[in-house]
Amino acid sequence: MKKTLSRSIISLILAAAFLLGLGFLCVKYIIDSDMWASQSYNPYMVSGQGLSNAGDVLDRNGVVLATSKDGERLYNENENTRKALLHTVGDGSYNIATAVETAYRDRISGHSKIFGYGLPQSLKGKNNLTLTLDSDVCTEVYEAFDGRKGACFVYNYKTGEILCMVSTPTYDPSNIPETLEDGSYLNNCISSTYTPGSIYKIITAAAGLEYIENYEDMTFTCEGEKQIGNYEVTCLEEHGTLDLKNAFAYSCNIAFGDTALKAGRENMQKVSDKAGITKSFRIGEVFTAQGHFDLKNADDISTAWSGIGQYTDTVCPAQMAILCGAIAQGGETRLPHYVKGENSGKSGRLFSENTANKLDELMRYTISDYYGDSMFEGLTVCAKTGTAEVGEGKLPNGWMVGYSKDEDAPLAFAVVVEEGDYGFYSAGPIARIAMLGSAEALRNN
Ligand SMILES: [Zn+2]
């Protein structure tokens, strides 16, 4: 009798364990099947069949960027458009992490949770994917890079829609060269980080505003260089005496080296972390590369240079556009996405409202009183340029980041040109094309 009872108990336990395991597998299958199916180890996908009947990829105006015909994957007829959109659309492979042909392959290939890829084409329907990007603006921006490497990213900080995302070096997905330039697979907008140079003064100014008493009323004296310990911080020129607004607009290194030292290592770190420099942000199905800001082992001269965006500082272009979107909206912003109808959520608070409003004043002054509004005719732009020393005998990287305050064109942007030298002359003209084009695209629909 005892034996029978213990046997029944064991059987019951086994049955329960089996059901539990089966249940877990079912749930896991429902949640992850799309992901499993679109992995490159699935031979069905690697053989290219996953895309041979895949849906179209369209830009925001319905322009066809990729389509499948007679079992072949075809891309837009314009070579420069194909190159400009490579990192957003893809090349049929899994080599570009941010491309929709990689990150959204399950959706465009029509993978079904119940039938897998087994459903006949006639029953699959069209699995088209519409992007938020304007392919004309992207093409124009790609042409403006004129062979130089870098990234240009523009998004609507109110809706999260990315209008322009261009990364170079790139290549033609319809005619893939045998040897690719280094970094061709990387979407520099989302997946790369760069030395920021003077655009980091936005964050240093935030640290000053939050942690230095009467910071706004301070004046700075620049004699072109300043001794800190045994080393020197140098400036591009001898600026003389400047108030904060002009120190920011003229981008005085002495003023912001001083600011970093006065705010202190811990506070510089705190403000950088809060502003999202050391974080990764969600953009649809992918994540931005994390920037770097770390003063753990920094002495005074290194701390001063960190406030000028040198030392070991790095930032990701999309991350800088998000940060600018947050300043435009009082400290918090919507995160970008590039597939229509998606929602990447919010950034969380990157700046206090008071700090965001004061940064807005500094960045607005830089355009209205220093560079001049004619640069972005028809838009009310706030921005900061940067010229980031990268060493190794290379020319500095040129940067421009900012946003427009216009109700009908709420756009944040980040542009970097590798070895572009002065940010205003290299990144500036590309920012202008990207912003004016994106604003027109928004106003048209
Ligand atoms: Zn100076």
**CA 151 to CA 392: how far, in whole Å?**
21
* pLDDT single digits (tens) 126-184: 689 999 999 999 999 999 999 999 999 999 999 999 999 999 999 999 999 999 999 99
Please state whether beta strands 150-156 and 411-417 pair in parallel, antiparallel, or not at all (unpaired): antiparallel
pLDDT for the residue 46: 45
For the domain made up of 190-444, give the CATH fold: Beta-lactamase (3.40.710)
Q: What distance lies between CA 328 and its chain's CA centroid?
A: 17
The number of beta carbons lying within 10 Å of the beta carbon of residue 394 is 10
DSSP per-residue letters across 267-319: HHHHHHHHTTTTS--EETTEEPPP-B---TT--HHHHHHHTTT-TT-BB-HHH
Q: What is the pLDDT of residue 1?
A: 53
Cα–ligand 1 centroid distance for 249 (angstroms): 11
Centroid of ligand 1 to alpha carbon of 262 (angstroms): 17
CB 415 within 8 A of CB 438: no
Residues with CB under 5 A from ligand 1 (ion): 222, 235, 239, 252, 254
How far apart are alpha carbons 14 and 85 in whole angstroms?
Answer: 55
Structure tokens given for 443? 């106003």
Residue 26 confidence (pLDDT) above 90: no
Query: Has residue 33 got a pLDDT over 90?
Result: no
Cα 383 to averaged position of ligand 1 atoms, centre (Å): 19
Task: Find the helix packing angle between 317-328 and 201-211, rounded to 10°.
Answer: 40
Alpha-carbon distance of 76 to 65, in angstroms, equals 5
Phi (first) and psi of residue 155, to 5 degrees: -140, 155
- 169 cis-preceded (ω within 30 degrees of 0): yes
Q: Which residues are 166's β-sheet partners?
A: 152
How far is CA 316 from each of CA 55, 115, 152, rounded to the nearest angstrom? 31, 40, 11
In the reported structure, the alpha carbon of residue 410 is separated from the centroid of ligand 1 by a whole-number distance in angstroms of: 32
Q: How many CA atoms lie within 13 A of 278 on its CB side?
A: 13
Answer yes or no: is pLDDT of 406 > 80. yes
For residue 247, report the distance from its CA to the centre of ligand 1, in Å.
Answer: 7
Q: Each residue of 204-260: pLDDT tens digit?
A: 999 999 999 999 999 999 999 999 999 999 999 999 999 999 999 999 999 999 999
